[in-house]
Structure 1
Amino acid sequence: MDKQLKKFLIKSVIVLSVIHLGYFIYGYFKFEGIRKIDIYTEFYRFKFYDDVSISHFFITGLFLFCFLVLLLRNHSKKKYSVINTVKIGASLLLISFLSLTFFISYSFGLNAKMRQELPEKDFNKDKTFLNVLYPFLYNYTSYSSDKLFNPENILYPKPYPVIAETDTTYYNPNDTEYYSVETNYYSIDTLKILSSDYKNISSKILSGMDYLGLEPKDFTKRIISKKVIGDSTEIVFKGSEVDPEYDEDICIFLENKILYSPVRNVSEATQQYQNAVARYKLLYKYDQDSLLHSFQRLDTLFKKYNIESQIVPKDLKHDVFYFRDHNREPLNEIRNTFDRAKLKDKFNTLERLFYKPNYLHLSIQIIFMIVVLSVWISLFLLYLIWNYIKTRNHRLSTENK
């Protein structure tokens, strides 16, 4: 490739890089803050009618026009080999792409500003904080849902978690309309023994059975699962019976393990357990002011994300401890009103912007590729044709002399 042409192409790329930097800076300062983010927020897509699109159109058009004029006038009088022609074509493809992607640099600027205002570490802290407090934040009607709140969701303290076993008793074997249902809960315990001992279960050599007062046959009925690990067998079984209803260290707020917004790269089971421990300590181990402080932090978080809230931390703390101490009363009122839908939309949107930043919107991807290829083919063909004509004329004029 001619040295002058190479310099010209490099200078063109530098000019485009400077323009990209300008759009990046513009996007950085144009970001309005996380308070303004809503469900419709997305990183910029070419919209054809705003300042970015209009300026993009004119700057791209002006650059390509000047680039083409200079290319054809100053660098189209030499015959190049196939390899050099391919290199020129690749360079023109790069320049075509760079000249049509200023709006992507604008999106990078928006993303950079968002991450500066809300670093991923802080975002994860906010998610963890909400995950811990989530059982206190449901609408009061949700607390009557057995799907959301039930003893099988309790993960801490011991002997929880538990598994439910339901027995149905029919008063008349010939009449299935009259029956009673009894639900019993058992702790989920693990026993690891040699596989040879497990095969001889009837010999009562299984350790761990004595404290349960179980015969080997009864023990086998309680086995939930078993897994062979090397020369040992790990048995998960129903352990001692537990009565959550009369457990004074348990309340309805521990009967929910749903994560409000899971933290990435940490298993959900690990998060659920850690949240359960933190929640239990707030309810039963720490001073009541600790929960009050948590609700005050929650109020600050709502302001940070621009969420309308009617929560008074002191009142919510009072309600939580009241229902903790009166666990058998139906929870039909709790003062925890806030804009739940907006907060959920906000965190879902931030999750998408952090981990699935769609810089090139699906609605314009095909159009974008067609435009890039069209511009590239046009530039390349014009250059090849013009270079051929110039080279041919130069050769003919030389021969005539």
Structure 2
Amino acid sequence: MDKKLKIFLIRSVVVLSVIHLAYFTYGYFKFEGIHQVDIYTEFYRFKFYDDVSISHVFITGLFLFCFFILLLRNHSKKRYNIAGKVKIGASLLLISFLSLTFFISYSFGLNAKMRTELPEKDFNKDKTLLNVLNPFLYNYTSYSSDKLFNPENILYPEPYPVIAEKDTTFYDPGNPEYYSVQTNYYSIDTLKVLSSDYKNLSSGILSGMGDLGIEPETFTRRIMSKKTIGDSTEIIFKGVEAYPENDENVCIFTENKMLYTPVHQVSQAGQQYQNAVMRYKLLYKYDRDSLLHSLQNFTALLKKYKIESQIVPKDLTHDVFYYRDHTREPLNGIRNTFDRDKLKERFAVIERLFYQPNYLHPSIQIIFITVVLSVWLAVFLLYLIWNYVKTRNLRISAEDNGSYR
């Protein structure tokens, strides 16, 4: 490739880089803030009618026109071999791509401003706070849901978590409508023994289950699963019986393990357990001021994301401890009103913008690729034709001059 052509192409890339930087800066200062995020928010999608699209079309057209004129005028008089033409084609493809992607740099600017305003560390901190406080924030009708709130969701303290075992008793064999269901809860325990001991029910290890109040025969019935690991057998079984309805260390708020929104790339099971431990401490270990402080942080979070709320942290703290101690009362008086839908929507959208940004919207991907390739082919083919004509004319002119002499 000719040295002058190389310099020209490099200068063109530099000019395009400056334009990209300008669009990045514009996007950075155009971001309106996380409090304006809603379900329709996305990184820029070429729309043809706003300032970014209109300026993009104008600048791209002007640049390509000037670039093409200068390319044909100053750099088309030298013949190139196949390798040289391939290099020129690759360079023109890069320039075509850069000249048509200013809107992507604009999106990068939006993303950079969002991450400056809300660093990932702070976003994860907000999610952790919501996950810990989540059982206190449901609409009062949700507390009657057995799916959301039940003893099998308790993860802490011991002997939880537990598994339910239902025993149905029919009083009249001829009438199946007369029956009762008794639910018993057992801890989920793990035991590792040598495989040889497991096969021998009279071994000292299995006989030692009596210390836990479990006879060897009962133990075999309570086995949920077993897995051989080397010369050992790992047994998961139903352990000691638990009585959550009479347990003073659990309440309806510990019967929920749902995550409001998971922290990215962290085990959800691990998050659920850590949140359960912190929630238990707020309810049973720490003084009331700890929960009050957490709820004050929550109201500050709502203000940060511009969510309407009627929550008074002191009142909600009182309600939480009241229903902790009055487990049989319905929670229709809990004062935790706020715009749940808006907060859920805002966090879901920010989560998507963080981890699934879609700088090139799926609806325009095919169009974009088609336009880039079309522009590149048009510029490259016209250059090859013009280069061929120019070099041919120069060769003929040189031959004519030689014949004349």
Give the structure-1-normalised TM-score.
0.99
The CA deviation at 1:227 is: 1.4
Aligned residues, how many? 401
Q: Displacement of 1:174 after TM fit?
A: 2.3
In the TM superposition, what are the counterparts of 1:73-112 in structure 2 within 5 Å?
A: 73-112=73-112
| Cα offset, 1:213, TM superposition | 2.8
Task: Give 5+ residue unaligned stretches, structure 1.
Answer: none
Aligned twin of 1:377:
377
Q: Which residue does the alignment assign to 1:28? A: 28
CA distance in 2, matches of 1:29, 1:273: 41
- Residue 165 of structure 2 corresponds to 165
Residue in 1 that maps onto 2:387: 387
- Are 2:204 and 1:199 equivalent residues in the alignment? no
Structure 1 equivalent of residue 349 of structure 2: 349
Offset of residue 191 of structure 1 = 1.4
State the secondary structure of the residue aligned to 1:80. Answer: coil
SS at match of 2:351: helix
* Root-mean-square deviation over aligned CA pairs: 0.9
CA deviation profile, 1:35-65 (whole Å, cap 9, x unmatched):
1111110000111000000000000000000
Query: Aligned letter for 1:309?
Result: S
Letter in 2 for 1:144: S
Question: Residue in 2 aligned with 1:314?
Answer: 314
Q: What is the CA-CA distance between 1:143 and the residue it aligns to?
A: 0.3
- 1:14 counterpart residue number: 14
The alpha-carbon distance between structure 1 residues 208 and 342, as it changes in their structure 2 partners (threshold 3 A), is: farther
CA contact (8 A) 1:166 1:184 kept: yes
Question: In structure 1, what is the Cα distance between the partners aligned to 2:305 and 2:208?
Answer: 52
Q: Report matched runs for 1:91-240 at 5 Å.
A: 91-203=91-203, 205-206=205-206, 208-240=208-240
Q: Which residue of 1 aligns with 2:40?
A: 40
Q: Which amino acid aligns with 2:375?
A: V
Secondary structure in 2 aligned to 1:159?
Answer: coil
DSSP 3-state at the match of 2:178:
strand
Q: 1:202·1:217 contact (CA, 8 Å) conserved in 2?
A: no
Instruction: Report the Cα offset of residue 203 of structure 1.
Output: 4.5
Does the 8 Å contact 2:151/2:162 carry over to 1?
yes
2:255 aligned partner: 255
Q: Which one-letter code corresponds to 1:155 in the other structure? A: L
Quick check: 2:207–2:215 contact (8 Å CA) kept in 1?
no
Mapped to 2, the partners of 1:284 and 1:309 lie a distance apart of 27
SS in 2 for 1:167: strand
- Identify the residue that residue 337 of structure 1 maps to in structure 2: 337
Residue pair 1:204, 1:216 contacting (<8 A) in 2 also? no
**Does structure 2 conserve the Cα–Cα contact (< 8 Å) formed by 1:224 and 1:236?**
yes
2:243 paired residue number: 243
* Shift in Å, 1:204: 5.5
3-state DSSP class of the match of 2:273? helix
Question: Is contact 2:222–2:237 with CA below 8 Å preserved after alignment?
Answer: yes
- Residues 140 and 333 in structure 2, CA contact (< 8 A), matched pair in contact too: yes
- SS for the counterpart of 2:171 is strand
Structure 1 window deviating more from structure 2 (50-59 vs 193-202): it is: 193-202
Match of 2:298 in 1: 298
- 8 Å CA contact retained: 1:191, 1:208: no
1:280 corresponding residue in structure 2: 280
d(CA) in 2 for partners of 1:89, 1:205:
76
What percentage of residue pairs aligned between the two structures are identical? Answer: 79
What CA deviation, in whole Å up to 9, does each residue of 1:108-139 have, x standing for no partner? 00000100110011101110110000000000
Gaps of 5+ in 2: none
1:64 corresponds in structure 2 to 64
The answer on whether the counterparts of 1:193 and 1:232 sit within 8 Å (CA) in structure 2 is yes
Within 2, Cα distance between the matches of 1:169 and 1:238?
Answer: 21
- CA drift of 1:102 comes to 0.3
- Cα distance in 2 for partners of 1:286, 1:16 equals 59
Matched position secondary structure for 1:176: coil
State the Cα distance separating 1:207 from its structure 2 match: 5.4
